[in-house]
Structure 1
Amino acid sequence: MASAIKDHTAVEKPKDLPPLLSKKFNITDVKQDALKWNKEWEAAIASSTAADVLKEISHFLDDSFFTPKDIELFHEDLRSVQDRVAEILRSLFNEGHFDTIWLLLNVAEKRRHILEGLKGASEAPTLWGQDCRALCPEVTVSNLLSQGGKGFIDFLTRVLEISESSIKPAFLPNSWWEQASNLPNPWNKFIDECFPLIEHHASHFVLSSALSIVGDITNRSEGMKGVLHIMENTEGYVARSLAQAKSTFRDKPLIRCENCTKTPEDIGQGVRFMVCSVCKTKLNFEVHYCSQSCQKQDWSLHKKACVKKPVSKGLRGTKGDSLWAFGDSDPAVELIRNLGKKEGRGLTSLRDIGVNPCKGKRSPAAERQAEMLEANRNVDYFLFTASGETVRFVIDDPGARMIFRINRGVIMTQTGDTGLDAMGEYMVKLMSGYPGLSRDIILKQLCEEHGADTTKQIVRLERKSRECGKSTFIEGWLKDSSNVFGDWAWLGSL
């Protein structure tokens, strides 16, 4: 995984193309300001069509510019580059858990590696240098960072599939260019000549971004240390589940129309959302609307709070939603979101993670536990001394409380067979020394509630935790996840 990658893909060029598009769009020199350079390119790409690009090309190229020999050289070099790309990607995906490592990286690190890839592709010895960016609308930082970085993984997967194709050179499907195939002459005559340029740029982007990422892994860079710690000190499924959870996180709150709830992406390009100007001016608070019509329709509700206090409907994913960072498909978050709905409350709390109706048949001891937990939701579990005295087990740490209660919900509702060992291990560690309790007393109670093999499951997990140098699975999970998600203290506000 961490082996060095060398680029042996220098191209023999029959001629160079002048910088047409970068000059037209007045793009900043990448060496002067890489962030501004990228921002200007992304704006130029978003505002251009295939027809716009081909028109610019047609001003310079003519039928005699590329000879059949030139095209043959392009294809030979592209085959060589794609073979090298396929070799690298196979190594990354098959040997190094690359997708998990990538998804665990923070957004700033992901952005930096993608930007390094774009810079490397633009500076590579290809015919048209950075102007090839205009031919590759999918290869942008914003696209590749989508879905928590899954956009990048999906792109690399497509590149690998195409690079391993029996057809050489192979071309990535490009919806942006499909419109060009229907253009009238003279523009469509350049399409076949553009595709090798597109693939060269995409391939060099993959090579450069891979070099950047593998270099950080090999050198254990500061931005990579937390991720490597997780990979080296947790079970594989823990790292993968953390990565999957992180890929659903939002980097910033959504903007939704307060009336129709649509986002700018739902409506499409060109829409400009408005805000209530009075709330913005007086309260520095933004309530968004997609149109004057929606603003008028919502006025009967908004006027109750307008100027008086910063209140919105807390629509899902917006700043007013305490769980805005979580994706809509996260089952644990859905569990939290749906709590208390039957009582008419829209906002949720960790204390509301109850046990819910059982999918099967609980033991009498477990049924008693469920009834007591539902009756007092401030308690995380009820333990019993040898004499039958009740001991309330309450977790102060909000992160540990969330993990414990989610596992508790799975076990008590019998919707899964994992989590009992983590719950038991945690309670045994924290409560064995409590007056009237002991390890044996707690294990005996859990066996009565959840089955005779409960002790065996807990002992097995305790052994694994010791081997990994952890106190308990829950405490280890919180420590490792904090390297990715940060402090879980914000859960205390729920």
Structure 2
Amino acid sequence: MNVGAYLAIPLAGEALVDPEKWDQKWESMLRGPQLSGPHGPLFCFNNMLFQNRSVPGFTDRALAGYPELLAGTCAMQRNMTQDAIMYFVGGNLEKRWMDASPDERRKHILGAMASVCSKARNLNEARAYCVPELRLSRLRLDGKVFLDLLRSAMIDDVTYIPTKPRLVSHPRWDAFAAEQEARNTTDDEKIALAELILLRTKLICHVLHFTLRSFLGLEAPPLQVTKMHRKQEKGDPTDPTHAMHEEILKRMLGPEAAKARRELEVASAKARISQRLGSCSYLGCHNMEVEGGKKFSRCGPCYVKMERQVLYCSQKCQKADWKLRHKAVCGKPLTFDDISTLPEHPANDQVFATL
């Protein structure tokens, strides 16, 4: 995000501390002309591109994380669809949701949004890409709006995990994506657009899935979040952008307010990191680390040379991924063409989350 927009965004950690206040801030932003106007998608894209270009190594880290983001979204969307089918057919979901009061629907939707957005900075920021889909005021009043959004995000075949997600459609975003894709020539432009479009669908689907399970009295589904290199998690004080960020905060907010904002940022980051569990990088496996359990092994060359966190739950997965795709990119810079398409893999029948 550019500085002005960045400072206006509610922090991810605020979502759990005070969900109501966090949502009020978001609703105010989503009503504003920058996001709700005709150039909202371009505004979001330019902010994403600004971040890629202003932070050293950010584009490479985005490229490295994209296959996991794509595979995780595909698996999550399949599992959300499986759950939804079961609830529509056997749980009388449509009638129960339509019969619920707006306040009851609001409680579950807000809880879902706060829970999802608190777990990752990029998911929290992705709410800016979901106008009008994730306007709580819109979702709560008419139960049909939520159910229609759910149906639009469900995939057609749940017998396997697809290699491409079903993107949540919106005329403004669809037109922008087609036009911008034709214009993009550099890797930082291509990955900025790809992440923007994918995060939009990922957040909407997570909120739908979390809401469903909350409404039916079930525990929340697991949520896969990329585990970052230590420097990315804690911030590198020697990075010139770190000092630049501190100085910009002081100039725009004043010393005391800047200090308070920075303390909130640090606390929010620590809370997210404490919840963050690694996941296996082999695209045919969706195992995640267990809290308090054994940590997955990582690829040394990628970690040391490129500051990329590539984790494996077993030697079997590491060997399989080496043959499938990792040999070509291990410890090397990436291009968008290297990572933009998921290869088909023999373990495509595995499920990311159990029902």
Q: When you count helix as a share of all residues, which structure comes out higher?
A: 2
TM (normalized to structure 2)? Answer: 0.49
TM (normalized to structure 1)? Answer: 0.36
Larger radius of gyration: 1
